[in-house]
C-alpha cells in the first residue's frame, strides 16, 4: 500500500512539473497568400506566391531546458523557394527575440530548432530586439519588430472561416488550439536576410490562436 501511495505521489509531482513546464501563449501568422478564399483564387496563387510568412509568439507561461520563458516575445520570417504548402522546398528564416536575459533567448532559440525545424528551415539570423505583441478582442493583433517585420490582423466577421471550412486551404506553421483565420490589414517584411522585402494588405491571409508545447 505504501508503495502504491509513493508511486501516486511521485506521479502527481511529475505531472505537476510537466504541466508547469509546458509552454503556452498567443500566436499569429501572416502568409503572402490568402489562406481563406475560393478555389480559383487559391489555385491562382499556388504557384505564384505564398512563399513567405511572418510568425509571432507571445509566451505567457512555461519553460524550456529549465529556463522560464514567460514574457518572451518573438517574431520570425520564413521564406521558401516554393509555396509554403510544399514541405520539401528549401526554407530560410530570420528571427528576432525580445527576452529579458541571454538564457531566455538561448532557450527560445533551442526550442525553435528542436520543435519547429521543418517550418523554419535554415535559420540564417537570430538577434535580440524589442518586439511588440498586442492582442485584444476589439483591435485584434498588432505585432512589430522595428526594421524587421510587422502585421495588423483582425478577426473575420461572423466566423466565416468556420462556416466554410472547405475554403481554408493551408495549416498554420505551428500547432494551434482554437485556430482561426484572420483578416490582414497590413503586413510587411523589411529584414532582407531571407529574401526581398515585401508588403501585403487587405487579405484573409492570417492564422491565429493559442499555442501549447
pLDDT of residue 159: 58
In this structure, are residues 56 and 74 in contact, taking their beta carbons and an 8 Å threshold?
Answer: yes
Question: C-alpha 118: how far from its chain's center?
Answer: 13
Q: Could you give the angle at the alpha carbon of 150 between the alpha carbons of 27 and 97, nearest 5°?
A: 60
In the block, residue with C-alpha cell 466566423 = 159
pLDDT per residue over 32-66, tens digit each?
999 998 888 888 888 889 999 999 999 999 999 99
Determine whether 124 is exposed, middle or buried from the number of CB atoms within 10 Å of its CB (0-12, 13-18, 19+): middle
CA distance 140 to 14: 37
Determine whether 203 is exposed, middle or buried from the number of CB atoms within 10 Å of its CB (0-12, 13-18, 19+): buried
pTM of structure: 0.87
Q: What is the secondary structure of 66-111 as a DSSP string? A: TEE-TT-EEEEEEEESS-TT-TTS-EEEEEEEE-SSHHHHHHHHHH
In this structure, are residues 143 and 75 in contact, taking their beta carbons and an 8 Å threshold?
Answer: yes
pLDDT of residue 44: 85
Residues with pLDDT less than 50, the chain: 1-20
pLDDT of residue 69: 98
pLDDT of residue 161: 57
Amino acid at each position: 500500500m505504501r508503495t502504491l501511495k509513493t508511486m501516486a505521489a511521485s506521479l502527481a509531482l511529475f505531472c505537476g512539473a510537466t504541466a508547469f513546464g509546458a509552454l503556452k501563449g498567443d500566436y499569429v501568422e501572416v502568409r503572402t497568400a490568402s489562406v481563406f478564399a475560393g478555389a480559383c483564387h487559391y489555385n491562382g496563387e499556388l504557384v505564384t506566391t505564398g512563399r513567405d510568412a511572418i510568425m509571432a509568439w507571445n509566451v505567457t507561461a512555461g519553460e524550456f531546458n529549465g529556463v522560464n520563458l514567460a514574457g518572451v516575445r518573438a517574431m520570425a520570417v520564413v521564406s521558401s523557394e516554393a509555396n509554403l504548402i510544399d514541405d520539401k522546398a528549401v526554407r530560410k528564416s530570420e528571427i528576432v527575440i525580445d527576452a529579458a536575459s541571454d538564457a531566455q533567448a538561448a532557450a527560445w532559440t533551442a526550442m525553435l530548432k528542436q520543435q519547429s525545424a521543418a517550418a523554419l528551415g535554415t535559420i540564417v539570423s537570430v538577434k535580440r530586439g524589442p518586439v511588440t505583441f498586442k492582442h485584444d478582442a476589439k483591435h485584434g493583433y498588432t505585432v512589430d519588430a522595428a526594421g524587421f517585420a510587422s502585421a495588423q490582423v483582425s478577426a473575420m466577421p461572423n466566423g466565416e472561416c468556420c462556416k466554410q471550412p472547405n475554403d481554408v486551404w493551408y495549416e498554420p506553421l505551428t500547432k494551434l488550439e482554437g485556430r482561426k483565420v484572420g483578416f490582414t490589414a497590413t503586413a510587411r517584411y523589411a529584414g532582407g536576410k531571407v529574401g526581398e522585402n515585401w508588403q501585403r494588405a487587405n487579405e484573409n491571409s492570417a492564422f491565429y490562436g493559442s499555442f501549447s508545447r
